[in-house]
Every structure is written in structure tokens, then in C-alpha cells.
Amino acid sequence: MSIEDVISRLTKLDHPLNFHQPVQMSNDIAAYLKFYGLDIKGVEFNLGKLEIDKTEIAVQIFTPEKSEATIFLLHGYLNHVGHLNKIIQHLTSHHYRVISYDLQGHGLSNGDRASVSSFADYVTTLEKLMEKVKAEMPDPFYVIGHSTGGAIILDYLLKHRTHPFDKVILLAPLVRSNHWYLTKIAYSFVQLIPFIKQVKRQIKKRAMSKEYVAFLKRDPLQPKAIPLSWLRALMEWNQTIHRYPPLATDLFVIQGNKDDTVEWTYNLPFIHKRFCNARTVLIDEGQHELINDDPATREIVLTKIVNFLDD
């Protein structure tokens, strides 16, 4: 039984999200959890599909024996819930229930691979999931987002002025990607060539821990290319996000000072301008994949996250 076959079957899993009837553990689910390091002792697992605009989103819930709050955990672009294994292990060990999901076109969710027509679609997914969770689960609710997951949270908060999240953490949040203007120029040229619909993905091995690079190499859910439609959606979102007025919500932003994936020297001032109560911590030598960085850096980041949540 190959992991590719397991994933193929789980992608087609017919089990609507149900908080009161967790999915029955199967050989496929057990194999998936083991492969991605999500088979956590003493933690109840649930997996279900949530249909949003005719796209099935795979939602995963990790519930420890004792839970003090529910944390929504959003992954970054080209990643999926399996990339969050270490932070999920850490949060559940500190008595937090974790709800995470694969963005459309990622992981076990349906949709065109690594593509989205508009960032508004990402926000709609979070909105629909929140509606269901608020109706069936007790608060408090916290939210943590990495990279594109952070961008989704920013948009959600600015759109929903009175939101349900008591604590918000952004990890290396995306507003602009690195080399922003060069990217826009390159995109303008490439889109003139009608047969080019995507660009090959380049994995920056020097900016990642050896452990994480090895994981990426064996991960069958890794997209091999970046659709131009996603770049267009990012650029369009950058034009609309400026229209929202500032908000007084507290934010805790953790950013690595060696991140060469997002243009963090622009992003952090932008966030502070929109969120006057934002607090930022720079991680020395921290790369973009903070929760998959080298063990020492990762431990610093995870400790700061839990200290903020426990405060």
C-alpha cells in the first residue's frame, strides 16, 4: 500500500465534517497520519469534508484529552496540514484543540492544484468553517496562520470587524512576496505567452533545514509548479487589502530576519499600520518556514507561541 494510493483514496473520502461523529479510523487514515507525523498519542483525530462553492475542503481536528481552547491553524501556499505536524504536536501537548484544513487545491482538498481564482475564495472557506464551528463547539477560539495562512487571517479580520478570535498569531505573514516588483514585471511578460499557464517551482534548499528538505522530497502532495492564476490573485488581493480601515485587534507577529520568501520589510510596517496593537518579534537567523526550521529556531518559535497563548 503506497502513500500515493492512500492519498488518492482519502482525497475521495465521502465523510462530511461531523463534530459529534468522528471519522472511523481506517488503514488509510492510519497510514496518512503515520507518514506525516500526525499520529499523536492521547489525541483524538477527526477528518471530514466541508463543501464550499462545490469544492470539498478536507478539515482535520486534533483533540487532546483536556482542551482549554480551540485553535484554527492555517498553512501556507504549496503546503498542507502535514507540514504543520510539529506545531500540532506542540499545541495539543499544551491542551489546545487544533482545527486545520487544506486550502483548496492543496493536500487532501479538491480544486485545481495550487491555484485559486481570488484570495476571497480562501477567506470564504474560513468564514464557512467558522460558522459551523461556532454553532457546535465552545469558545474561546484562537487562530494561527503561516504565510498565505496569515494573509487569509489579515483579510478575515479586516473584513469582520467583530470577529470570534480572542488571540491571533501570524507566522511570516504574506502581504507581498519577495522581489515584489520584479515578480510583477516578470508576470507581465510571461502572461503575453498564451501557452504558459504556470512556472516551475524552485525549492530554496539553502533556506530550509535539511530535515524539511528531505520531507519535501518524499512528500507526494508537493505541487511541482506555480499557476500564473495564483500570482494574479495575489496581485489583485494586494490592491484590495489597502482599502480596509485600521483595526484595534491585538496581533502577535513572529518573523524570521532571514526570510527571503516574503518581503517582510514591507509587510511588517503594513500590518502595524492596519493593526495599531500589533506586536512583532524578529527571530534571528529565522527562515520563512519557521515551524519547520532547525530544531533550535523551531523551539524558540514554539515557545513564544505557547507563552502568548497561555498569557
205 vs 44: which has the higher pLDDT: 44
> CA of 75: how far to CAs of 103, 192, 204, in Å?
8, 32, 18
183 vs 96: which has the higher pLDDT: 96
Q: Does residue 153 carry a pLDDT above 90?
A: yes
pLDDT band at 130 (very low <50, low <70, confident <90, very high): very high
Give the span between the Cα atoms of 75 and 183, in whole angstroms: 23
Select from 107, 32, 38 the least CA-distant residue to 77.
Answer: 107
Whole domain around residue 109: which residue ranges?
3-310
**In the predicted model, what is the mean pLDDT of residues 11-28?**
93
Q: Does residue 206 carry a pLDDT above 80?
A: no
- 178-196 burial string, b = 16+ CB within 10 Å, else e? bebeebeeeeeeeeeeeee
Q: Does residue 197 carry a pLDDT above 90?
A: no
CATH number, domain of 67, equals 3.40.50.1820
Q: Does residue 289 carry a pLDDT above 90?
A: yes
* Residue 66 confidence (pLDDT): 96
pLDDT band at 58 (very low <50, low <70, confident <90, very high): very high
Q: Share the mean pLDDT of the chain.
A: 95
* Residue 117 confidence (pLDDT): 95
H/E element holding 260?
A: none
Give the span between the Cα atoms of 166 and 226, in whole angstroms: 34
pTM of the shown model:
0.97
For the chain, the domain total comes to 1
Type of residue found at 141: F
- 243-265 burial string, b = 16+ CB within 10 Å, else e? eeeebebebbbbbbeebebbbbe
* DSSP string computed for 273-284: HHBTTEEEEEET
Q: Does residue 173 carry a pLDDT above 80?
A: yes
**In the predicted model, what is the mean pLDDT of residues 277-298?**
97
* Residue 126 confidence (pLDDT): 98
Q: What is the pLDDT of residues 229-246, one digit of tens each?
A: 999 999 999 999 999 999
* Residue 196 confidence (pLDDT): 80
